[in-house]
Each structure stands twice: as structure tokens, then as C-alpha cells.
Structure 1
Amino acid sequence: MLWAVHCLDADDVLEIRRENRAEHSARLRSGIVDPVCYGMLVSDDGGHPVGSLILVRAEDRETVERYVAQDPFMIKGVWRQVTVGAFTESENSPARLTDTSS
């Protein structure tokens, strides 16, 4: 199942984000969840990060929530708010994330 993880940064955490980025990035590739797409949410002018958006495949919400709880950005206080929600892509989406040929 696909899960969308929407994370908003706390105030004044740019340096903490930079210091923990490598560990956070390594965790994305750890195999705990299967990342599909991820990246920074940025200010409207693109000038600075305001959060993260991560789309993953995982068996259930609990797996995703455990994954998030142990992410360096969560542990170090970069993220102030995280929302996890099940995601189903539209049949009309111009980009397909799941194999529909089976």
C-alpha cells in the first residue's frame, strides 16, 4: 500500500536539518519502508526548506509511523508536525506509481 508522509519543519531548524541530512537520507534507503518519491517542501519563493514529503510503500500505517518516529529529523526536532495518510493514485494521473498491467 502507498502512504504519504507530510512533514512540516519546526522554526529555526535549518542548521539541525543540514547536520542530520546524511543520516536522514541513509534511513530513506534502509529498507524499512520502500520509498517511491521524496523531497523537501520549500517556501513559495523556493528559498528555504519548510518540510518534507515522502511517498512510501509499506504493509500498514504502524510500519510507517514507526519508521517516522525513528527518523533523525524527527528525533532531532526538525519536524514539528507529521501526518501519515494512505494514498491511492488516480487512474487519470499522468504519472503512474503502481504497475497496473497485472
Structure 2
Amino acid sequence: MPIYAIHCIDKPMQQALRASTREAHLAYVRERMDQLLVAGPLLDEAGEPIGSMLLIEFPDYRSAVTFAANDPYARAGLFASIAVTAWRQVLPPREENQAG
């Protein structure tokens, strides 16, 4: 299944909104644990969250965009930007990439 990178940047000064919607966001992402490669916050130089990044499998681009749009963080208006792009792992090699 194709992998998509979901890269989101928070609007400035939205720490309270991020904190208040964090549990709903985590529950939403956990619903896709079987598709998830990695997920976590983007951090500023002080180690404070300024966005989110996920690498997650979806059957197609539209499914990835729909997932990103329905994230509780996105629905709450936390993000200034959301980018969804197809991604392919090269290193370290995944088992499925070594078949052949």
C-alpha cells in the first residue's frame, strides 16, 4: 500500500488549542495503528510542538487527504498548513522492498 507523509504546521500561539484537542487527535490516529509507520509532533528549538508529522499507508491520495482533513487538530483549526505527499522508503530497506 502506498505511504503518505502528512506534514502539518500549527498556527502561531495555539498551544492551548493543541493541548485541548490532543487526546482526540491521539485517539483518531490510534484508529489507524495498522497503517501507521511513524507519527509525532514537530518541535521548535525549545522542544515545544509546532506541528505534526505522520508517515501512514493509504490506498490512495484521496484517502490520505480525507484522513488529514478529519484529524481533530485540523477540524479544530489548529493548522496553518497541511501538506500530503506520496513517500517511498529507500533506507533502511523494508522487507517488502527486498522481495524479488
What's the TM-score, normalizing by structure 2? 0.88
Structure 1 counterpart of 2:58: 58
1:41 Cα deviation after fit = 0.4
1:80 Cα deviation after fit = 1.1
- Could you list the runs of 4 or more consecutive aligned residues of structure 1 that deviate by over 2 angstroms after TM superposition? 95-102
Higher helix share: 2
List runs of 5+ in structure 1 lacking aligned partners.
none
List runs of 5+ in structure 2 lacking aligned partners.
none
How high is the sequence identity, in percent, across the aligned residues?
A: 23
Matched, 1:99 2:100: no
Could you tell which deviates more after superposition, 23-32 or 51-60?
23-32
- The whole-number CA distance in structure 2 between the counterparts of 1:21 and 1:98 is 33
Structure 2 counterpart of 1:83: 83
Matched, 1:5 2:2: no
Q: Which amino acid aligns with 2:96?
A: D
* Count of equivalent residues: 98
